[in-house]
Homo-oligomer: A and B are copies of this chain.
Amino acid sequence: MTAVDVRAWIAEDLGAGDLTSEAVVPEGARARAVILLKERGVVCGLEPVRAVFEALDPEVAFEQVAADGDETEGEIARLEGDARALLGGERLALNLLGRLSGIATLTRLHVDAVDGTGVTILDTRKTTPGLRALEKYAVRCGGGTNHRLRLDDGVLIKDNHLRLAGSVGAAVELAKGSGAEVEVECESLEEVREALAAGADWLLLDNMSLSRLVEAVALVAGRAKLEASGGITLDNVREVAETGVDFISIGALTHSARAIDVSMEVL
């Protein structure tokens, strides 16, 4: 359940009105339609799609055939209502479904790829401006887990912070004072040792090779949670998972997912 106000998005697509429907479809005409996944994928976004059509026709009947999180193909929803409203909301509805289902599907592929390893697949803050809540929800629909939602959500000390704070030790000490868990980005085993000594609770192992990850897991020996990140794809995600890290975070889940092919057909 997310809070979506779709009116601004409708205005973005509708502008001064739908010239084609005004010309071609009689005022007050009614229509039935189905929404279809044209390729197999994990459905995501049916609630905002319902909100789109309800904003254009408060009396629309919207029936879900599938639920968010289902992996399926073909018909996922049926609609009946004002014909101009169905056509006026079609593109926005499909844009939402295509993108969110694309993210859920890509997440599911990664989650399945690490099945049995005990590793948790995380997203990142590399989301589309304006859509973070929905994209994070899509990751959950795909079986992933959300990493930090915002900058207010936890402490994660990255290379840019270290340049400003001086040393890992100094930065971690300052951050521990806030009472929150502290995560530190490490690019070398040296930095891993330093962060561990400073009391970091969680280490982000950035762009490390598989053998380096294995060394890091051995070195840390359970004293902090370990998250691998950087350069991880469907091809290597299982190997990374098998190094023994606890988490793998993947920016591409949200910034580079291909849209799923979705269409609406008036009956």
Contacts and interface: CB of A to CB of B under 8 A. Distances in A.
A55 to B, nearest CB: 7
Nearest to A166: B24
Given A1-B88, A10-B3, A15-B149, A24 B266 contact: no
Contacts of A222: none
Copies of this chain, tallied across the complex: 6
A87 to B, nearest CB: 6
Interface residues on A, range: 35 or more
Interface in A5-29: 5-25, 27, 29
Interface stretch (A123-131, A211-219, A236-244): A123-131
A81 interface: no
B88 A23 contact: no
A186 interface: no
Interface of A: 1-3, 5-25, 27, 29, 31, 33, 54-56, 58, 67, 83-85, 87-88, 90-92, 94-96, 98-99, 102, 120, 125-134, 136-137, 140, 145-146, 149-161, 163-165, 171, 174-175, 177-180, 251-252, 255-256, 258-259, 264-267
